[in-house]
Chains A and B, each alone.
Chain A
Amino acid sequence: MEDNRLKVNIGSLELKNPVLTASGTFGYGTEYEDFLDLSALGGIVVKGTTGERREGNAYPRLAETPSGMINAVGLQNKGVEYFCKEIYPKIKDINPNVIVNVSGSSIEEYCKVASAINDLETIPAIELNISCPNVKKGGMGFGVDRQMAFEVVSEVRKIYKKHLIVKLTPNVTNIVEIAQSVEKAGANSLSLINTVLAMAVDSEKRKPLLSTITGGLSGPAIKPIALRCVWQVSHNVNIPVIGMGGIRNAADAIEFLLVGAKAVEIGTANFINPKISAEITEGLSDYLNRHGIEKITDIIGLI
């Protein structure tokens, strides 16, 4: 059921509610169609898309750790051309806010993908992933350096005409500095955090658990880090912030809104409960009822 009190705007993006699904955890949306009404979500951020097809990293790519998981998928996808030709026609109408996560190893690659997605009529925004810890070249490299972040966002800004979200990594000393430089380069909004660089070891086998040794930690374990990052960034930029990292229920989502996020993305929790994004949306309505709050935007940034 649609609840008008949950509507939020992220710049030009109009969301039915502030609950989106996070890239890499929700496939292309259709993987979840048996479990929830895809059109009722605030938005769907699909898998990371690169200029050319990528096979990603070798198996094993997953290690479970306390209250979280470390992944080393490494941007496996069939490339932007395949996306536009084969996948886009199937998903273009599943939700008004199907957002493509754009990844790459060079500025040229980011621009190539962004310009191809710019031509897709029903995609209102891209999420520029300058924060992936799982690729050797580029990826997080752009997101950890103020100047490089500025350059890649500026170049993509020149060719991408719609809403540009830039996704930040927490694996930096000063996330506010990066956020401000991305804002200056022309981003319309920010999303954070991507996974936290991490490692897991098997003591019995005396070996790392991932083929890549290190990977990206997600899930409830990273929520406190994510909250801190969102709080710091949202109070120091003038563009909207989308928060994520370890959200698994409505209370978690509320926490992110309170520290300044205008919307949230749900990631790892989708693996545990494929209906969770819909349940969190319902939970937000309940929260408004319980506290007699008129609309969800009233609680954004209270902390």
Chain B
Amino acid sequence: MKYLEIFTVESNIALNKTCFLLVLRSPVSLETVAAGQFVSIEVKGEDERILRRPISIHDVDKTNNLLYLVVQRIGKATNRLAEIKKNDEISLVFPLGNGFAIEGEKPLLIGGGVGTAPLYLLAKEFKSRGIVPDILIGARTNEQLFLTNRYSALGNLSISTEDGSVGERGLVTQNSVLKKDFDVIYSCGPTSMMRAVADLAKKRNIKCYLSLENRMACGIGACLCCVNENKEGHNVCVCTDGPVFLSDDIKL
């Protein structure tokens, strides 16, 4: 079941220069929300933007009906979202898409930039099953990292920065944690990073899930704007067939 509801802003906290954490109170139960799903937010303002914006679910507090989103300022809508304040109201369509399939005993979660956001709820899910995931976060510099202490509370955290300001210098695919043995990889981040992760997983014969962030208009499978090609050469909707795909099932 999908809902269209007005949420109330509990808080909006800056995490670094461009990212902020939104805590939103839902008027309905969030019981069915799963890791890897997303919401579609209406961003109202004076300018003429009209479409909703898809944002991943970072965390959920089902007891208190709270939804956590991490958003990066990148353009008009996200800049406007950065300005919303406690008690503001905001319209969400949710929960959308298929979440992560939780499987494997030795999972590795690889996030790049704001793509790290949805991996938090996934890590939490593993932890609740008694599995401690490895979490690898990539960023250009330490200024782009966020909430790393919360991630390290859920798993073994490794960090790669391109400038070496924190963790290992280089790309995530060069991080030494990859020497360990894994049976499943989950990744969300820039396409170039996910492509490299998928290649690496294929070489090492590890099952790999990717979460895509294609541009969307409806978010519910009605407009066919968000498509990605699957391995049979057919276009599938990222919003309803994804956003999480097995890397072997799609062309990236």
Contact = CB atoms under 8 A, between A and B. Distances in A.
A56 B236 CA distance: 11
B1 A34 contact: yes
Contact of A71 (B42, B223, B228): B223
A219 B50 contact: yes
A71 B215 CA distance: 11
Most buried by A among B52, B214, B223: B223
18 contacts: A32-B220, A34-B3, A35-B4, A56-B227, A59-B226, A61-B224, A61-B227, A62-B215, A62-B223, A62-B225, A64-B49, A68-B48, A71-B225, A73-B224, A268-B50, A271-B217, A271-B219, A273-B4
Nearest to A54: B235
A271 B3 contact: no
B231 to A, nearest CB: 14
B74 interface: no
B130 interface: no
Given A56-B227, A62-B223, A68-B50, 19 more contacts: A24-B223, A35-B4, A55-B233, A55-B234, A55-B235, A56-B235, A62-B217, A64-B50, A64-B51, A67-B48, A68-B48, A73-B223, A76-B235, A268-B50, A271-B51, A271-B218, A272-B51, A273-B42, A275-B4
B2 interface: yes
Contacts of A71: 217, 223, 225
B93 interface: yes
Contacts of A270: 218, 222
Interface residues of B, number: 31
B171 to A, nearest CB: 23
Interface in B12-56: 42, 47-52
B164 interface: no
Nearest to B227: A59
Interface of A: 24-27, 31-32, 34-35, 47, 55-56, 59-62, 64, 66-69, 71, 73, 76, 219-221, 268, 270-275
Contacts of A221: 48
Nearest to B228: A59
B113 interface: no
Contact of A69 (B51, B91, B93, B222): B51
A27 B221 contact: yes
A241 B67 CA distance: 46
Contacts of B4: 35, 273-275
